[in-house]
Structures are given as structure tokens and as C-alpha cells.
């Protein structure tokens, strides 16, 4: 309650009194009168409020209503402050979806694939990862005395920049991947992009299949039915069951790989293991097995080295060096070296395709010439439909021309490989009957046991020399 002010003038027939709320967010005024009074004007009411320091949020309409209705002996709210409006805190907008990590991928019909837990989120260098949305400042408030009620600074956030990331030079609020790899959200809240991903235990239902844009290390075993893919190398510190391992680089298995004919090892680099059984093996480099290769289908553009091979087939472009081939039970085992003859065969196939494409290209050019000649009007103009047909023929011509260029590049690459490829050979310590030896188109079925032989191709026959 504020003190009462008597009205100005010689004869006081009313008294004005002012009060405000505890938080000074509201003020009211009353006209106290015991005799039929002269009533104060709105200006006098306003001046009284201002004389008490009330300057903010005066409600002129409320004052005018008081005067119009000559309200007495009742406090009327005539001034209001306003509260501060909080600002909007800063926040982070993640541009890669980490929310599904560890959740089975949903399939059609409401089913889920428990082998695909989407454990790894891969990104490419330059990919945007997270954006900072700056805070928006709030609006200050005021009480009826005009005192400012600060809104306060809204909470801000820091960019979660970690290893393998950088802040975009074009946008200081954007974190970008610096390298190809997997996005990892640390307990600290920072994001990292890692080129090496490590799995502490087995690849199984706890991890799901793993696809990684870098090097992958598995400290346990890859269990049957699961798949690991890496754009770098794969290192498995224990074993591989009937699973699929696919790497752009090499695959290194500390133990062995024993499958049930559904397993696959596919690599752009070397594949090494202690033993491999019942697997399909494909590599652009060498296969090196410390012990046995049993009932496997092997294709390599390099060489194969092992202690023993029993059953299945082994194809290598360069060489095969194995201690013992086959068994006393005369299990059929195929050893084949491609070498230059295989590459030459591939080249002839491409040359044949190149001839067909060239003929098709010539035919299209001729059809275009005849079409334009016959479809043009006297002014040398094609109608709309004819123009569309001509554009389609031009598109076909471009496609065939591009295909020809691609074929030529492939043929040039084969020529380089043919020139660089050494003469193929096999070095075998013991060869049991039932083994089939092939180099290019030359073939021999071993009828009697061979020991310490070096097998090469000479003209139209196989040469069996001693080691």
C-alpha cells in the first residue's frame, strides 16, 4: 500500500490512494470519498500514479472507465508490468542418423532382421555431420516502476568436434567429416570419424552384420550366417564360421575358416589364414594358408601358397605352390593356372564385343543421315515429332560411343597385364592321383603319384620338371 494523496484544490471532497502487488507487476488506484464528490480527471489519476513512481504499463482505458463511471471506494487495476520471455536455447542438429544404431533393420511385413543391427554409421569425407543452431535471446520484462527484468542469456551449446572432423570454413556452425569412416558418438558428446573400427568380441546377434568404410578388426569370431564388409582391411583375431567376409583391402584370419559351403572370403588384397575349409575364396592378390585348403573354390589373380590342398578347385593367375595335393583316397582336386592364355581369351572376347558395338554405331549414324534427309521439309526444318526421334537416336549414338571408349580402356589394361605377367608355374611336393593339372588350355589328369615337381607350359604341352 502506498500513502494517500489528497487532491489538489481548496476543498477536498475525495482522497486518492495507490497500491502495488508484491512483485510490482501490478498497480491499482482508488478514489476514497464520503460526500458526493467532485471526481478526479484521468489526467489527475495518471499524475498520481506517476508521482508514486508508476510509469510502466499504465492502462489509459481503465483510467477513463473509472472517470466515466465515477468509481469510488474500490481499487481498480490500472497499470501492469510484463514478465520477461525466456530465449530459445542453442541446440545441435545431427545430420547423420545415429538413433537406429543397435536396432534391427525393419523388413516388409513388420518383420525385423536381427542380423542387421545397423551398428556402424559410415560417412564419406566432406559429409556434414552436425549443425549448431545458435540460441535466440529472449525479451526483457519490466515492472510497473519501469525496472527492467532481464530475460537472461539462453543456454548455448558447443560444436561436438572430435578426431576425423573439422569445422566448415564456409559455415562456423557446421561440423564436417574429414575422412571416410564410421561416426562414433563419445560419452563426452563429441563426434569422431574413425578409419579403424574395433569389435571387442564376436560378430553375432549382439553386433549384427558390420559394414565399415575403413579398416575393421574383430577380436573374436565371425559366427555362422553373419557378414562383415570393410572398404579397408579386415583382421579377425580368432576364427570364421560359415560367414561372409568382404574387404576392399586384405583379409587376415588368425585362426581358421571352416564353413558349410555358404562361406565367402572376398578381398581386393591378400587373404591369409591358418586353414580354410568349405569356402568360396576370391582375391585380387595372393592366398596364403599356413596349413590346409579343403574342399574350397579358389579364384585369385595372384598366387596360392599352402601346406596341403584336398578337394575343390584352385585357380590362380600367377602360380601355385602347395606341399601336398589330394589324398590317398584320390579325392578329385583341380589346380589351374590362368596366366597369359586366360587374359588373351578375355581380350579376344572384348575385341569381339568391340566389333559388334562399332557395327551398331555405324548403323545408327547411317539411320540418322537417312532420317534427317527424308524427314526435313522444304525449308530444311524437322517437325516436333521428328526432332524427338532424332534426339533419341543421338542419345543411342552417345551411349554406344561411351561403351566403345570403356571397352578400349579395358583392353589397354589387359594388354598391360599380359606384358607384366610372369610365366605361370606350379611347385608341388607331393601330388596324389585324382588331381587335375591345368595351365591355360593344357590339361593333365595325374594317374600316378608325383613328388617334387615344377609344372610349366611349353608351347602345346605341360612340362614336369624336378624341384
DSSP symbols for 59-78: -HHHHHHHHHHT--SS-EEE
Task: Render pLDDT for 38-48 as a digit per residue (tens, 0 to 9).
Answer: 889 999 999 99
Count Cβ atoms below 10 Å from residue 151 Cβ, excluding itself: 16
- pLDDT the model gives residue 374: 81
Q: Predicted confidence band at 6 (pLDDT cuts at 50, 70, 90)?
A: low
User: Is the model's pLDDT at 308 over the cut of 90?
Assistant: yes
- pLDDT the model gives residue 114: 52
Q: Which residues pair with 62 in a beta bridge?
A: none
- pLDDT the model gives residue 150: 93
Q: Which of 90-94, 137-141, 249-253, 380-384 has the lowest mean pLDDT?
A: 380-384
Task: Render pLDDT for 180-201 as a digit per residue (tens, 0 to 9).
Answer: 888 888 878 888 998 888 899 9
Lookup result for grid cell 614336369:
464
Task: Render pLDDT for 218-231 as a digit per residue (tens, 0 to 9).
Answer: 999 999 999 999 98
CA distances 231 to 101, 212, 396, Å, are 20, 6, 35
Distance of CA 403 to the CA centre of its chain: 31
Query: What would the mean pLDDT of 204-218 be, rounded to a whole number?
Result: 90
- pLDDT the model gives residue 250: 95
- pLDDT the model gives residue 416: 81
- pLDDT the model gives residue 47: 94
Judging by beta carbons within 10 Å of its beta carbon (0-12, 13-18, 19+), is residue 260 exposed, middle or buried? exposed
Percent of the chain with pLDDT over 70: 90
- Mean pLDDT estimate for the chain: 88
Handedness of CA 413, 416, 420, 426 (dihedral sign): positive
Q: Which of 30-44, 45-59, 112-126, 328-342 has the lowest mean pLDDT?
A: 112-126
- pLDDT the model gives residue 294: 97
Task: Render pLDDT for 133-157 as a digit per residue (tens, 0 to 9).
Answer: 999 999 999 999 999 999 989 999 9
Query: What would the mean pLDDT of 38-61 be, rounded to a whole number?
Result: 93
Q: Predicted confidence band at 393 (pLDDT cuts at 50, 70, 90)?
A: confident
Q: Predicted confidence band at 333 (pLDDT cuts at 50, 70, 90)?
A: very high
Q: Which residue has the higher pLDDT, 145 or 2?
A: 145
Question: Which DSSP state fits 180?
Answer: S
User: Is the model's pLDDT at 450 over the cut of 70?
Assistant: yes
User: Is the model's pLDDT at 214 over the cut of 50?
Assistant: yes
Q: Which residues pair with 184 in a beta bridge?
A: 192
User: Is the model's pLDDT at 280 over the cut of 60?
Assistant: yes
User: Is the model's pLDDT at 420 over the cut of 80?
Assistant: no
User: Is the model's pLDDT at 172 over the cut of 90?
Assistant: yes
Percent of the chain with pLDDT over 90: 58
User: Is the model's pLDDT at 106 over the cut of 70?
Assistant: no
- pLDDT the model gives residue 4: 52
User: Under a CB-based contact definition with an 8 Å cutoff, are residues 183 and 201 in contact?
Assistant: no
Question: For the whole model, what pTM was predicted?
Answer: 0.64
- pLDDT the model gives residue 8: 47
Total count of residues recorded for the chain = 467
Query: What would the mean pLDDT of 342-368 be, rounded to a whole number?
Result: 84
- pLDDT the model gives residue 7: 53
Count Cβ atoms below 10 Å from residue 146 Cβ, excluding itself: 13
C-alpha cell at 36: 458526493
User: Under a CB-based contact definition with an 8 Å cutoff, are residues 365 and 397 in contact?
Assistant: yes
- pLDDT the model gives residue 1: 46
Rounded Cα distance, 291 and 277, in Å? 11
Mapping DSSP to helix (H, G, I), strand (E, B) and coil, where does residue 424 land? coil
Count Cβ atoms below 10 Å from residue 16 Cβ, excluding itself: 21
- pLDDT the model gives residue 349: 87
Amino acid at each position: 500500500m502506498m500513502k494517500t494523496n489528497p487532491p489538489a484544490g481548496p476543498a477536498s471532497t475525495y482522497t486518492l490512494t495507490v497500491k502495488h502487488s508484491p512483485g510490482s507487476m501490478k498497480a491499482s488506484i482508488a478514489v476514497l470519498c464520503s460526500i458526493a464528490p467532485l471526481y478526479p480527471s484521468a489526467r489527475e489519476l495518471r499524475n498520481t500514479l506517476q508521482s508514486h513512481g508508476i510509469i510502466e504499463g499504465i492502462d489509459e482505458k481503465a483510467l477513463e472507465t473509472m472517470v466515466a463511471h465515477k468509481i469510488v471506494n474500490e481499487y481498480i487495476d490500472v497499470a501492469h508490468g510484463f514478465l520477461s520471455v525466456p530465449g530459445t536455447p542453442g541446440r545441435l542438429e545431427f545430420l547423420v542418423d545415429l538413433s537406429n544404431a543397435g536396432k534391427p533393420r525393419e523388413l516388409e511385413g513388420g518383420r525385423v532382421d536381427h542380423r542387421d543391427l545397423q551398428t556402424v554409421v559410415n560417412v564419406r569425407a566432406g559429409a556434414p555431420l552436425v549443425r549448431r543452431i545458435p540460441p535466440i535471446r529472449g525479451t526483457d520484462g519490466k515492472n510497473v516502476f519501469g525496472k527492467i527484468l532481464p530475460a537472461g542469456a539462453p543456454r548455448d551449446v558447443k560444436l561436438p568436434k572430435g578426431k576425423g572432423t573439422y569445422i566448415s570454413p564456409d559455415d562456423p556452425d557446421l561440423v564436417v567429416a574429414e575422412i571416410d569412416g564410421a561416426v562414433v558418438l563419445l560419452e563426452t558428446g563429441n563426434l569422431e570419424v574413425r578409419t579403424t573400427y574395433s569389435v571387442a568380441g564376436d560378430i553375432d546377434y549382439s553386433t549384427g552384420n558390420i559394414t565399415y568404410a575403413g579398416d575393421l578388426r574383430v577380436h573374436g569370431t565371425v559366427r555362422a550366417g553373419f557378414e562383415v564388409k570393410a572398404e579397408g582391411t579386415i583382421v579377425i583375431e580368432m576364427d570364421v564360421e560359415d560367414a561372409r567376409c568382404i574387404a576392399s583391402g586384405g583379409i587376415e584370419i588368425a585362426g581358421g575358416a571352416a564353413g558349410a559351403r555358404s562361406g565367402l572370403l572376398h578381398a581386393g588384397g591378400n587373404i591369409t589364414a591358418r586353414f580354410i575349409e568349405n569356402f568360396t575364396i576370391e582375391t585380387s592378390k595372393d592366398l596364403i594358408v599356413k596349413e590346409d585348403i579343403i574342399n574350397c573354390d579358389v579364384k585369385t589373380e595372384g598366387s596360392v601358397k599352402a601346406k596341403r590342398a584336398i578337394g575343390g578347385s584352385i585357380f590362380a593367375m600367377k602360380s601355385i605352390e602347395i606341399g601336398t595335393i589330394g589324398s590317398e583316397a584320390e579325392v578329385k582336386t583341380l589346380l589351374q593356372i590362368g596366366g597369359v592364355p586366360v587374359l588373351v581369351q578375355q581380350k579376344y572376347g572384348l575385341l569381339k564385343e568391340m566389333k559388334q558395338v562399332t557395327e551398331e554405331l555405324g548403323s545408327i549414324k547411317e539411320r540418322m543421315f537417312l532420317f534427317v534427309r527424308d524427314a526435313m521439309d522444304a525449308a530444311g526444318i524437322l517437325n516436333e515429332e521428328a526432332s524427338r526421334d532424332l534426339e533419341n537416336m543421338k542419345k543411342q549414338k552417345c551411349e554406344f560411343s561411351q561403351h566403345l571408349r570403356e571397352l578400349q580402356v579395358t583392353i589397354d589394361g589387359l594388354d598391360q597385364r599380359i606384358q607384366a605377367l610372369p610365366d605361370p608355374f606350379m611347385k608341388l611336393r607331393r601330388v596324389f592321383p585324382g588331381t587335375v593339372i591345368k595351365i591355360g588350355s593344357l590339361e593333365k589328369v595325374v594317374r600316378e603319384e608325383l613328388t617334387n615337381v615344377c609344372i610349366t607350359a611349353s608351347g602345346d604341352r605341360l612340362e614336369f620338371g624336378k624341384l
